[in-house]
Amino acid sequence: MREYDNGVWRYVPAGKDVWGRPVYAAYFLGRFAGYRYRRTAKDFARLRKLYGHDVPASRWEECPEWCVVLY
């Protein structure tokens, strides 16, 4: 997994969740802001099929802390 950074948000690989999906630690201006999943093109296709074009445009989705298995 790689690190993502846009100057404001930084996403650092943190481990996997209990289902095996990669999870990232999110930092907003250097402060920890929680854990996130990164949606893939496959996820967007599945959501579009399910909900139509009303799919949220967010690439990053919140992940509850209880489901993260840290490295």
pLDDT for position 10: 96
2 contacts: CB under 8 Å, gap ≥ 6: 13
Residue with tokens 């990053």: 60
Kindly report, residue by residue over 11-34, the tens digit of the pLDDT.
Answer: 999 999 898 889 999 999 999 999
Q: In the chain, where are the structural domains located? A: 4-70
Q: pTM of the full predicted structure?
A: 0.80
Q: Greatest CA span in the chain, whole angstroms? A: 36
* Contact in structure between 23 and 15 (CB atoms under 8 Å): yes
Q: Is the pLDDT of residue 44 over 90?
A: no
How would you class 26 by CB atoms within 10 Å of its CB: exposed for 0-12, middle for 13-18, buried for 19 or more? Answer: buried
- The three-state secondary structure class of 6 is coil
